[in-house]
């Protein structure tokens, strides 16, 4: 059964709901794909929302660096695509995302912490690796470079387990993916 409310009232309710569920974007490159995908589907590609209103929504969801990047663009229909193109140009570059992801791996803290902190760190490590795979960066491309850094951050007993694993496996079977499986297995025990 359709609502008896006037169409413009339904649109207003829809706009409030859409805005309520949209996250803000501060300028963190790794947050851009999720922000843009949700914004694009909810607002940008919605034919019922006027372009200038899309621009208002966009500006209202930007904070910090991202807000400053489009702050001087007047909120006019003709400027909406200019703002979108500027944001995509700055935050949508694959090379910047790849660099930020590999930096996250090298900056990883040691895992000699509480169980929850170690579980969170391993989850973050796995998520970062999956994000690199989405960027078409394979473990073969970064594994040899980053594996010693990650190994050094493991608790002593895990390093020993990894050394045993390496001693009992063929050289070609000892990639970064195998080390991730070992880390995940340690938490499943």
148-188: pLDDT as tens digits? 777 777 777 777 777 777 776 655 556 677 777 777 776 66
- pLDDT number for residue 10: 45
Rounded to 5°, the CA angle 186-110-101 comes to 90
pTM above 0.85, yes or no: no
């Amino acid at each position: 059964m359709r609502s008896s409310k006037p169409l413009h009232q339904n649109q207003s309710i829809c706009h409030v709901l859409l805005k309520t569920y949209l996250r803000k974007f501060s300028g963190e490159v790794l947050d851009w794909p999720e922000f843009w995908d949700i914004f694009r589907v909810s607002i940008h590609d919605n034919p019922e929302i006027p372009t200038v209103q899309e621009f208002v929504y966009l500006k209202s969801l930007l904070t910090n660096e991202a807000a400053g990047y489009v702050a001087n663009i007047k909120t006019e229909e003709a400027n909406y695509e200019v703002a979108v193109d500027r944001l995509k140009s700055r935050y949508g570059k694959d090379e910047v995302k790849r660099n930020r992801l590999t930096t996250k791996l090298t900056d990883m803290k040691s895992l000699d912490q509480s169980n929850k902190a170690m579980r969170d760190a391993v989850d973050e490590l796995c998520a970062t690796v999956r994000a690199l795979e989405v960027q078409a960066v394979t473990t073969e491309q970064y594994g040899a470079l980053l594996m010693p850094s990650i190994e050094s951050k493991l608790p002593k007993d895990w390093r020993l387990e990894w050394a045993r694993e390496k001693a009992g496996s063929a050289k070609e079977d000892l990639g970064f993916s195998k080390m991730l499986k070992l880390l995940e297995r340690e938490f499943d025990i």
